[in-house]
Structure 1
C-alpha cells in the first residue's frame, strides 16, 4: 500500500515539473512564432557556386 502513495507523490512531482517547464517556455517566448518553422523547410538555401560543385554537363 505504501508503494501507491510513493507513486502518487512521484507522479505529482513530475506533473509539477512539466507544468513549470510549460510556464517557463511561455515566459521566455518559446511558443511565439508558430508559422515560420513550418515554412522554413520549403525555402531553398542559397548555396554558393564553386568549381567543385558545378557539374560538367
Structure 2
C-alpha cells in the first residue's frame, strides 16, 4: 500500500510529461505532413542525366581487335 503513495504521483507526473510533449510537438508542426516524406522516395528525380559530349566512334576507329 505504501508503494501506491509513490507510484500514483509518479504516474501522474509521467502523464503530465507525455501531454506536454504532445502539445509541444503539435505546436512545433511535427505532425504537419506525415505522408509526403514517405512517398517522396518513390518519385523520380526531375533532372535528367546530361548527354555525353563525345561522339561515338566508327567501328574502324574503336580499339577492338579485328576478326
TM-score (norm 2): 0.58
Structure with greater Cα Rg: 2
**What is the TM-score normalised by the length of structure 1?**
0.67
| 4+ long deviations beyond 6 Å | none
Count of residue correspondences: 47
* Alignment root-mean-square deviation, CA: 2.0
Which structure shows the bigger proportion of residues in helix conformation? 1
Larger RCO, structures 1/2 (Cα 8 Å, 6+ apart)? 1
